[in-house]
Amino acid sequence: MKRAFLSLPQPRRCPGKSGVWLAARLGAQTAFIGKVGADAFGRYLNEVLAENKVDVSGMAVDADHPTTMAVVSVDATGERDFSFYRSANADVMLCKEDISDEALKAAKIVHFGSVSLTADPSRTATLDAAARAKKLGATITYDPNYRANLWKNKEDAIGAQMKAPLPLVDILKVSDEELPLLTGTTDCESGTAQLAQNGIRLIFVTLGANGVFYRFGENTGHVAGVPCKVGDTNGAGDTFFGAALSKLCKEDLNTLTADKLEGILAFANKAASITTSRRGAIPAMPTLTEVEG
């Protein structure tokens, strides 16, 4: 039986890329591939994932480079700001050889984010793994996040790198902040139509408190958000996508209906609302009982 969800984002001492953890918590069989340093931070990340039933057999350890650090500060409204401590760190050293065909063959969904694309060798490793997985029949999912202090300049980030994986992608999640960076428009209808020209079958535009806009082939729609008192927005996007993928991994995109999709998105919106109402990211993420209750 295939593993439901294999995640390729770079590990870091920060709860941001935690969708794989949330998907595991919601019942999906998940695995994580990445590289950490032989230090306390790397051991901590490995232990947290393993304790939460994420398969970490694909986690490589680099004895020569430290685990990347990211510090998230949150203002009075719950909005976050990122500071990265990352220069030739372990996650950047992820190589093609670190990602086996066996791991990719075992996955129904292979997921990655754009932080993996900021530098080589991890950039080449991530794109190569996504291309291999696509050929092996996996569904490819992508979550581009623009973090200015990880890139030399915006033009290189967006034009050359963040857009590069789009022809490989089956399911894409962008925020309302990232949509204009990738398409030049804030309009969800025209922006997602532009992105869909890459062959992307399912696109989500998360709208914060306003929920999510989706494009599924020629069909578009909106699913309202779940109101909450904001504690911390960190992790909301990862919660949304992790929750959505925990359901979509059990579906066939060829037979998925709009009604079923909207039910999945309502589930993901509720999960994201619960995370947003609490402080922290991984500690704030809900259980299946909480989301379904």
Rounded to two decimals, the pTM is 0.90
Find, among 58, 11, 17, 19, the residue nearest to 39 by Cα.
11
Contact 165, 110 (CB under 8 A): no
User: pLDDT tens, 24-76?
Assistant: 889 889 999 999 999 999 999 899 889 888 999 999 999 999 998 766 665 66
Amino acid 16 reads G
**Given this model, what pLDDT does residue 232 score?**
73
The residues near 289 (Cβ < 8 Å, ≥ 6 apart) are none
- How many beta carbons lie within 10 A of that of residue 211, not counting itself? 21
pLDDT for res 13: 32
- Cis amide bond preceding 167, omega within 30: no
Q: What's phi and psi for 83, nearest 5 deg? A: -125, 125
Q: What is the tens place of the pLDDT at every residue in 243-274?
A: 999 999 999 999 999 999 999 999 999 999 99
Check if the beta carbon of residue 171 is closer than 8 Å to that of residue 134.
no
pLDDT at 10: 46
Q: How many CA atoms lie within 13 A of 114 on its CB side?
A: 25
- Per-residue confidence (pLDDT) for residue 3, from 0 to 100: 56
Q: For residue 202, what are the CA distances in angstroms to 4, 163, 169, 225, 243? A: 18, 16, 9, 19, 15
- Residue 2 confidence (pLDDT): 58
Residues of the chain with pLDDT under 50: 1, 9-17
The alpha carbon dihedral of 246, 207, 111, 115 has a sign of negative
Residue 13 φ then ψ, to 5°: -80, 65
